Amino acid sequence: MDFRELHHGDRPLVLPNAWDFASGAALVQAGFPAIGTTSLGVAAAAGKTDATGDTREETIALARTLARLPVPVTVDIEGGFSDRAADVAGLAAELASFGIAGINLEDGRPDGTLAPLGHQTSVLAAVKRAAPGLFLNARTDTFWLGGPDREETLRRVRAYAEAGADGVFVPGIVDDADIRAVLEAAGVPLNVLYLPGRTEYPRLARLGVHRVSTGSLPFRRALHAAVTAALAVTGEGGDRPALGYGDVQRLVSGR
């Protein structure tokens, strides 16, 4: 099925996020009809911290290999690894040339701010001109970076859809009223991040969410499983706490 069509099925598309070829291939073998990538997993696997704009080459290299998989692949390119619209558009065109089906492009910046709205819409428009066949998932971090801001979220998802985004992604959105408001405002498929105990799949399906991403959760649980398996050789370790996003960031940075 075409990647766009997967966003209009009877149930939300569950998009698991891979960090290398093996994880992607395993997810395909498990029956998922499409996969994405996780920027945290890609960065951490390279010994780098996430969301710093420092993994352009690793992201391109992974995209090349994942394009061999028999399902659509969408790639997280963070903020595009550049402030120049032409650079981001060029990256999108390069990924499309490999056979990549979509990209995830966010407006959050490493300093915790949001890209100016006008700048971000110009980037999105440039990407669509350069790679019109890509499914452009425009992420806004209005909920992810701090206190939820519904009005700013609605302003941005409307603008991103008007600029050509094929879908919008609002990680951190949880409440029914907020989700309904975004669905009504955007007019394009809505992607929600799966947060255990907070954004459960049946409820998101009832609300009409189109796509549910796992984000870095599989990668973090894989790290936890690896440590648990190694400690089990001696019968030590016991129950260890799950790794959060910040735990992995600190692990990689050595802090």
pLDDT tens column, 92-130: 999 999 999 999 999 999 999 999 999 999 999 999 999
Three-state secondary structure of 113-147: CECCHHHHHHHHHHHHHHCCCCEEEEECCCCCCCC
Angle, CA of 239, 230 and 28, to the nearest 5°: 90
Q: Is 172 left (phi over 0), alpha (psi -120 to 50) or beta?
A: left
E strands present in the chain: 13-15, 17-18, 35-37, 73-76, 102-106, 135-139, 167-169, 190-193, 211-213
- CA 3 from centroid of its chain's CA atoms: 15
3-state secondary structure of 85: helix
Q: What is the pTM of this model?
A: 0.96
CA atoms of 65 and 94, how far apart (whole Å): 14
- 3-state helix vs strand vs coil in the chain, percent to 5: 45, 15, 40
Beta carbons of 58 and 75 less than 8 angstroms apart: no
Token duo for residue 173: 């959105």
Summary mean pLDDT of the chain: 96
**Each residue's pLDDT tens digit, 2-36:** 999 999 999 999 999 999 999 999 999 999 999 99
pLDDT at 220: 98
pLDDT at 95: 98
How many residues in the chain? 255
Kind of pairing, strands 102-106 and 17-18?
unpaired
Token duo for residue 115: 């890209």
Q: Mean pLDDT over residues 142-152, rounded?
A: 91
**Each residue's pLDDT tens digit, 41-85:** 999 999 999 999 999 999 999 999 999 999 999 999 999 999 999
Q: Is a pLDDT exceeding 90 seen at residue 238?
A: no
Beta carbons of 72 and 61 less than 8 angstroms apart: no
How far are the Cα atoms of 25, 209, 235, 249 from residue 19, in angstroms, in the given order? 11, 25, 29, 15
Q: Is a pLDDT exceeding 80 seen at residue 1?
A: no
CA atoms of 122 and 207, how far apart (whole Å): 31
Token duo for residue 220: 């973090």
CA atoms of 250 and 255, how far apart (whole Å): 5
The DSSP output letter for 112 is S
Type of residue numbered 131: A
Q: Is a pLDDT exceeding 90 seen at residue 207?
A: yes
H or E stretch covering 193: strand 190-193
Burial of 36 (0-12, 13-18, 19+ CB in 10 A): buried
pLDDT at 147: 77
